[in-house]
Structure 1
Amino acid sequence: MAKQPMLKFVSVKRDMPVKREAEERSHDFDEIYAEFADQKAKEQAGRCSQCGVPYCQSHCPLHNNIPDWLKLTAEGRLQEAYEISQATNTFPEICGRICPQDRLCEGNCVIEQSGHGTVTIGAVEKYITDSAWERGWVKAIAPHEQRTESVGIIGAGPGGLAAADVLRRAGVQVTIYDRYDRSGGLLTYGIPGFKLEKDVVMRRNAQLEEGGVSFVMNCNVGEDITFAELREKHDAIIVATGVYKSRDLQGPGSGASGIVKAIDFLTASNRAMNFGDSVPEFESGELNAKGKRVVVIGGGDTAMDCVRTSIRQGAESVKCLYRRDRANMPGSQREVQNAEEEGVVFEWLTAPKGFKGDPVSAVVVQKMRLGAPDATGRQSPELIDGSDYDEPADLVIKALGFEPEELPKLWDEDGLEVTRWGTVKAEFTSGRTALPGVYAVGDIVRGASLVVWAIRDGRDCAQAVLDDLAGAGAMAAE
């Protein structure tokens, strides 16, 4: 009788892929986790308890069939595991690397809550799809038939790319328009290589292009082509621009040179350090942390990307100011630990009051304490009078989150309705807007959110577009 490969969480302890030592990894932009070996992947997948009601699956935005592909991995049926994994997820190797599993699937693992340590879902997911690429199981997009309908997608980030994949597999003609010179959006220019190596993203971009998706790069809608022209050209439009407008800082001295936006800093670093592009602002030192005392303001994942990037660029020191404590920060606790190992110092319960010097020479910091909970249930930070001090700084990076651009104004389209937050008003799950044939997905609808939610939105919207195109075709036939 074959030995049972599952339910080993009692006898086998949780184990992660080997993490490179901080001293080694802090000098390069390579990913910090090694790949699971085949036997180790089987062993860790075999820890799954095969729950009747799998919370890991229900807490995954894509509702990935996690217990199924864990079981197949444990049984050595890796190609079948890949097929199950990619059936619900357009980019499983990307989600396996950058999803905050500690807040989603792994954070809701039943065996974790019973004291046995969660299954390492993300690492196994990454291993499955990386193996699929290596062994030639990832096939080019090849529609059974070509359709005449055309869909234009504005934005080549994860939401737009996920929608393009679904539509192209159905034979629809797809064109993606993007302001940058490479597709991928924040996957390409926002997330550092030590979390997501760029060849992983470029490989997916190439797969889409080889499958017939057309890319129009360096194209700024509203300037190089009008929104009205795009609507005239295509049967449907999907708005997937993301949110790139940085929240700003106020206070004395906030306009000084040396105070920069996180997105500008990360984009320059990715271009220069990961792609080898010539970036004048990086080469001049304006967007380069080398030899500088760096202060990053914010507590989300973007702030974690900035502090860890600064370390790799050779900063003299790196400090992160966050107005709440460690337990209340929005960023991944795993990322905080990685940053601390690499030499980042976190100053909890602190906020900037102003800045000295131009170029900046110090941040005026005020200490905080946590008071009564606010409407969300989180304790609100309160100022401690007389606690101000100066934190020396040569480079200050603002990582306070992102807001949507004013698309109706930029695109001269008043009919594109937005919420009071500036996000596009769109129907839940389908992405339909008030404009006929216009849809919206991802952060431009949700506000700044996770890559996995953008993928979910893109897939759902693409299916709605297919349904609507089929309905329009049926009406025309009548």
Structure 2
Amino acid sequence: MAKQPMLKFVSLERDMPEKRPPDLRRADFNEIYAEYADAKAKEQASRCSQCGVPYCQSHCPLHNNIPDWLRLTAEGRLEEAYEVSQATNTFPEICGRICPQDRLCEGNCVIESSGHGTVTIGSVEKYITDTAWENGWVKPIKPKNERTESVGIIGAGPGGLAAADVLRRQGVQVTVYDTYDRAGGLLTYGIPGFKLEKDVVMRRNEQLEAGGVTFKLNCTVGKDISFAELRAAHDAVIIATGVYKTREIQAPGVGVPGLERAIDFLTASNRKSFGDAVEEFDSGRLDAKGKRVVVIGGGDTAMDCVRTSIRQGAESVKCLYRRDRANMPGSQREVANAEEEGVQFEWLTAPKGFVGDPVTGVMVQKMRLGAPDATGRQAPEVIEGADYVEEADLVIMALGFEPEDLPTLWGEPELPVTRWGTIKTEYVTGATEMDGVYAVGDIVRGASLVVWAIKDGRDCAEAILDRLNGAEAIAAE
């Protein structure tokens, strides 16, 4: 009788891939986690309990068949594991790196509640697809039949690229328009290399291009091409622009030199990793080297900024957040990594204003947690008389993102938006009230996770295919 390959969580402890020491990883932008060796990947996958109701799968936005590909990995059937993983996720190696598994799949792993430590789902997911690339199992898209219909996608981020992949596999002609010079959106220019090395994103872009997806880069809708022209050129249009407008604060000193937006800081750093000439960085404006850096915010973008500043050689890096550690929205794993690398967190603090021109400090208010707000989180309250000044040469605002006013920017007042400025769509399909116009990802949800954008892109592409197939059937009658 064959030996049971699974349910080894009782005898095998959770073991993450080796993490590079802080003093080494502070010196570069390479990913901090090593790759699993084959034996270790099999071992960790074998800890899965193969639940009858897999909460890891139900709490994954893509509903990935996690127990199935864990078992296949434990059995050494890696190519099959890759096929199962790829069936529901367009970019599993990216999700394996940047998804907050501690809040999604791993955070709902049943064996953790029994005290055995969750299965390292994200690390195994990354290992499976990296191995697939190394062995040539990831093939260019080759549709069985080409179709005449075309879809234009505005935005080359994860939502737009996921939709492009699904549509192209069915032979639809796909053109992706993006304002940047490289595809990938925040995967390319927002997320630092120590979380997602850029060759991982570039090879997916190359796979899509080799499969027949047309990219029109350095192309801004409303400037280089109108939205009306896009609608006229395609059978359907998907809006996947994301949200890039930085939330602002109203306080004395806002606008002085030395106060920078997180997206500008991260984009400049990522461009330098490609070897680009970046005037704002080369001049020192967006370079943290030798500076006292203060980052305001508590989300994952703030974590990216503090850890980037460390790698750029900042003299000191502090993060101000108005709630305590337990109530911050960012990944606790990222907070721990930042602390290991030398970042100081000032919990229960908020900016009151800024000193100097250029900036020399942040006027800080001490806070305490009061009654819960509408979401159930305790609302921060100011402690009167406890203000102080935090010295700073560079202040980075990482307060989140809001949607741009697309109806105005594009001259399309009929484009339906919610009271928050996000595009108003049907649930699941992403269809708007404008015929043939769809929207996916953060421009619908507000700032959210990459995995949700992938989910939206895939669902929207399926809805468009249903529509095109329906029109084709009617035409054939």
TM-score by structure 2 length?
A: 1.00
Cα separation, 2, equivalents of 1:360 and 1:406 = 30
Report the counterpart of residue 262 of structure 2 in structure 1: 262
- 1:345-384 equivalences under 5 Å are 345-384=344-383
Q: CA deviation at 1:255?
A: 1.1
Q: CA deviation at 1:33?
A: 0.2
Q: CA deviation at 1:350?
A: 0.1
Cα deviation 1:238-284 (Å, max 9, x = unaligned): 00000000001211101110000000000000001x10100000000
Q: CA deviation at 1:475?
A: 2.6
- 1:62-211 equivalences under 5 Å are 62-211=62-211
Q: CA deviation at 1:183?
A: 0.2
Report the counterpart of residue 449 of structure 2 in structure 1: 450
Q: CA deviation at 1:219?
A: 0.3
Report the counterpart of residue 39 of structure 2 in structure 1: 39
Cα separation, 1, equivalents of 2:68 and 2:113 = 20
Report the counterpart of residue 227 of structure 1 in structure 2: 227
Report the counterpart of residue 214 of structure 1 in structure 2: 214
Question: What amino acid maps onto 2:302 in structure 1?
Answer: A
After superposition, the CA RMSD in angstroms is 0.5
Cα deviation 1:283-340 (Å, max 9, x = unaligned): 0011110000000000000000000000000000000000000000000000000000
Question: What amino acid maps onto 2:354 in structure 1?
Answer: F
Q: Which runs of 5+ in 2 are unaligned?
A: none
Cα separation, 2, equivalents of 1:452 and 1:367 = 35
Report the counterpart of residue 295 of structure 1 in structure 2: 294
Q: Secondary structure at the match of 2:10?
A: coil
Q: Secondary structure at the match of 1:141?
A: coil
Q: Which runs of 5+ in 1 are unaligned?
A: none
Question: What amino acid maps onto 1:419 in structure 2?
Answer: T
Q: CA deviation at 1:476?
A: 2.8
Q: CA deviation at 1:477?
A: 3.1
- 1:433-444 equivalences under 5 Å are 433-444=432-443
Cα deviation 1:118-165 (Å, max 9, x = unaligned): 000000000000000000100110000000000000000000000000
Q: Secondary structure at the match of 1:445?
A: helix
Cα separation, 2, equivalents of 1:471 and 1:83 = 29
Cα separation, 1, equivalents of 2:473 and 2:439 = 24
Cα separation, 2, equivalents of 1:359 and 1:285 = 13
Cα separation, 2, equivalents of 1:114 and 1:449 = 31
Q: CA deviation at 1:375?
A: 1.1
Q: Secondary structure at the match of 1:354?
A: strand
Q: 1:473 aligned to 2:466?
A: no
Q: Secondary structure at the match of 1:455?
A: helix
Q: Secondary structure at the match of 2:28?
A: coil
Cα separation, 1, equivalents of 2:455 and 2:162 = 8
Q: CA deviation at 1:413?
A: 0.8
Cα separation, 2, equivalents of 1:15 and 1:97 = 16
Q: Secondary structure at the match of 2:9?
A: coil
Report the counterpart of residue 252 of structure 2 in structure 1: 252
Q: CA deviation at 1:474?
A: 2.3
Q: CA deviation at 1:2?
A: 2.1
Cα separation, 2, equivalents of 1:406 and 1:472 = 33
Report the counterpart of residue 275 of structure 1 in structure 2: 274
Report the counterpart of residue 61 of structure 1 in structure 2: 61
Cα separation, 2, equivalents of 1:151 and 1:475 = 20
Report the counterpart of residue 308 of structure 1 in structure 2: 307
Cα separation, 2, equivalents of 1:296 and 1:185 = 23
Q: Secondary structure at the match of 2:367?
A: strand
Cα deviation 1:396-416 (Å, max 9, x = unaligned): 000000000000111111111
Q: CA deviation at 1:437?
A: 0.3
Question: What amino acid maps onto 1:350 in structure 2?
Answer: T
Cα separation, 2, equivalents of 1:350 and 1:36 = 39
Q: Secondary structure at the match of 1:67?
A: helix
Q: Secondary structure at the match of 1:9?
A: helix
Count of residues in correspondence between the two structures:
477
Q: CA deviation at 1:470?
A: 1.2
Percent identity among equivalent residues?
A: 81
